[in-house]
Each structure stands twice: as structure tokens, then as C-alpha cells.
Amino acid sequence: MSIITSARRVTAVAAVVVAALSGAVLTAPAAHAAPELHWNDSGMKNPDSRFLEMWHPGKHIGNIHWSADPIVASHLGDTLYVNDLASDGYSIRGQVKQVSTGEIIIDIGTAGKTAPAQVKKTKNLKEGTKVQIRGCVMKAGKSHGCTSWYSARA
């Protein structure tokens, strides 16, 4: 071992000993976790429909409602309603995925609207088409948590 390499090792060991004896500890800054999203899947009379209530952080902030043929004998078809209830800087996004293809066929949100706000989108799907719905909390185009996917039908 050369004298230069030996001197570097002694210097490195000395620095570690000094840091340990002085009580100096290097730590990374604490991570700030995003507030946690909670939700509840509420029952509906129509088993093909779904209603998800969303809380973030601990405050009821919005709903996602999938209504299979909302008005009997109407031309409206199947409708996803997205409600943002809180003026908190977050928006609510609702998505509908067609199970057979895995394709998201409805993707709407309340971004850019003043709460309380509601948006809806209708798609006249073939009766019995299996879909899944979910809701997400968004801020500046970034997701801050989504519900699980829930089964429904057209």
C-alpha cells in the first residue's frame, strides 16, 4: 500500500471518528406523505349502479356515481356523475373501464371548476356490458390517490 493511499484511509477514518464523537448525524429530510384517501361503496337499488363516497383527509370531498340507464325508457344511456364537494384545491376524477377490453371509456373530472361542482358524461352502452368504476383525487394534474375499481353493468 502506498503512503498516499494509507494517508487517505487514515483521514477518512479520522473524519468518521470525529463525526461519531461529536454526535453529528446526517439524515435525510422527513418525507411528507400525501393525505390518505378513504372511500365507501354505498348500496344502490339498481345492482348495476354504484355510488362511491370519498374522504380526503377525513373530510367528505366528493362522490362518483355510475347510473345504468338513469331514466327508464330514455335515450340518455348510462351516465357517470362526478361531484366535487370541497373547495380545497383538489379535484375529483371519475373513470369507467370496459371489462372486456380493459379500455377506459369515460374519464371526466372537476379540474378547473369551482366547488361544489358536478360533471357528467353519458355513453349508451349495450345492455349488460360489464364495466368497472373508480374515483381519484387530483391536484395540478397529479393523482393523490384512487379508489379500488368497482364492478357495475350497463
Each residue of 51-63: pLDDT tens digit? 999 998 789 999 9
Distances (CA, A) of 153 to 27, 54, 67, 111: 51, 21, 9, 27
Which range of 2-11, 70-79, 118-127 scores highest in mean pLDDT? It is 118-127
DSSP element (H, E) containing 107: strand 104-109
Q: What is the pLDDT of residues 90-117, one digit of tens each?
A: 999 999 999 999 999 999 999 999 999 9
Q: What is the pLDDT of residues 135-149, one digit of tens each?
A: 999 999 999 999 999
Q: 120 pLDDT exceeds 50?
A: yes
CB neighbours of residue 10 within 10 Å: 10
Residue of 71, 66, 81 lying closest to 118 (CA atoms): 81
Domains in the chain: ranges and CATH: 38-153 (2.60.40)
pTM for the model stands at: 0.72
Which pLDDT score is estimated for 138?
95
Q: What is the pLDDT of residues 23-49, one digit of tens each?
A: 433 333 333 345 588 888 876 667 788
